[in-house]
Chains A and B, each alone.
Chain A
Amino acid sequence: MSNGSVDPAAVRHVAGLARVDLAEDEVEAFATQFAAVLDYFETLDEVPEVESEPDLTNVLRTDEVRTGLTQDEALRNAPDTEDGYFEGPPVG
């Protein structure tokens, strides 16, 4: 993945994985820009393997029932609702 261009088909494939539709001119522009950015990322190849031992602490809390959002609050920002539920597109 170098030498100036990323295949527009590759951009469309990744856009599909990410669930973002792109206009045709966006595909072309991103293909050129991605090539430059990914080429720059290639320099990470020079980084040695580094052992890291993070200082970890258990932060689990007891599983207690608490007050959360009301149904009204949870639904307040939904573009479409029906009978107290979120309304979404058909699945598959």
Chain B
Amino acid sequence: MSHDAFITREEIESKSSGPLAGRTIAVKDNISTDGVRTTCGSAMLEEYVPPYDATVVERVKEAGATIEGKTNMDEFGMGTTTETSHFGPTTNPVDDERVPGGSSGGSAAAVAAGEADLALGTDTGGSVRCPAAFCGVVGIKPTYGLVSRYGLVAYANSLEQIGPLAPTVEEAAELLDVIAGADERDATTRDRGDDSDYAAAADDDVEGMTVGVLTDLVEGADDRVRSVFEDSIDDLAAQGAEIREIELESLAHAVQAYYVIAMSEASSNLARFDGVRYGRSGGFDGDWNDAFARSREAGFGPEVKRRILLGTYALSAGYHDKYYKKAQDARAWIKRDFDGALADADVLASPTMPVLPPKLGESLDDPLQLYLMDANTVPVNLADLPAISVPAGTADGLPVGVQFIGPAFGEEQIVRAGSAVEG
């Protein structure tokens, strides 16, 4: 059964014999692959063939993995369902009538359906963790700066990180070990992951670990999701973890701050798509601005236009202080709240998604409702922290994910907590 997980199916074999030798990997289609088209799920880049590899692609090739192809995604990473792709939706391998989550839905579906052993996704506001939760696999959003973004087609570069998806916590951590570490071509990377062994932290041992439950993110969740989440927390307590409830006032403003910042950065980042150097040409009638505007009308889908326009609006004269500056205040407040909470707990926990995977077509009409689905994942990106989504069980036969958030560069802690849930 095909779930339309791939946009381009093209095997790239590795000649190396590294730690991923013999493994197959699917790569999200906004990560550049030398000589293999990279569309970002957009008509704008339908024919774009990058002349170089992203750093993460170089690293998985050096580690011996065979690339299986490029996976479907919400256009430019903008969505929570993988329905905004120009190439059509991917379906959830657990239930074909439902969405796989987004925007790395193709990567999660490829792993869940066994079409690849591992996958790379990108997480700007939850885009690795959401589809991991909806498809019943593991996804990690690394600390900002742990993994190079060189060769990633940028959407909101102060928020996004490339992250691994895998059937188990240990395998996701192994892939993270391969891609983590400093890169001279991305000045925002740090050297904290250079000699990592995150896979070794998947030891199921949470004896004495303090887990802070983020009550604000539990209360907003569907009752069925909440019940699975609470069972998994009880199970951690039975394994010797200390459970603590934590309230964070700032989280009520995370979704608004996230969308203002992400849309503002998108409006700037996507200005490069002019149909001249690459992309869909608007033809040469009229002047530069006319041709540019026509190229973008034809090349971008509705969600991308919506975010570019809202971002342009939020940055325009008269509104910058009202929206963008306030969003930056909220971001700083959320960071400070998380730092305080993580001084009292080793990891913080919440359901990954507040809802079960919706049916295809069910959630697209009302953008605001779609944005609210991201409430539990976006605070992590605003605070630059690492987080993991691990399958915690099912409700009505559909997967539910639990999320653990760690301190900056505390990947071992989230891997350890995640492995105990998987237990």
Contacts and interface: CB of A to CB of B under 8 A. Distances in A.
B330 interface: yes
Contact of B367 (A22, A33, A74, A77): A33
Majority DSSP secondary structure for residues of B touching A: helix
A60 B51 CA distance: 26
A69 B52 contact: yes
Given A26-B305, A41-B323, A76-B51, A21 B293 contact: yes
Interface in A1-52: 11, 14-23, 26, 29-30, 33-34, 36-38, 40-41, 43-52
Interface in B245-280: 252-253, 256-257, 259-260, 267, 271, 275-280
B335 A52 contact: yes
A91 to B, nearest CB: 5
Contacts, number: 150
B372 to A, nearest CB: 9
Interface string B68-106: 000000000000000000000000000000000000000
A92 interface: yes
A22 B309 CA distance: 11
B interface, size bucket: 35 or more
A20 B281 contact: no
Nearest to A15: B309
Interface residues of A, number: 48
A83 interface: no
A36 B332 CA distance: 25
B291 A89 contact: yes
Q: Which 10 A-B pairs give the minimum distances between C-beta atoms?
A: A52-B332, A79-B281, A21-B297, A77-B278, A89-B291, A73-B51, A44-B326, A50-B332, A59-B187, A18-B312
Interface of A: 11, 14-23, 26, 29-30, 33-34, 36-38, 40-41, 43-52, 59, 61, 69, 73-74, 76-80, 86-92
Given A21-B294, A45-B326, 8 more contacts: A18-B312, A19-B293, A21-B293, A48-B333, A49-B329, A77-B279, A80-B284, A89-B282
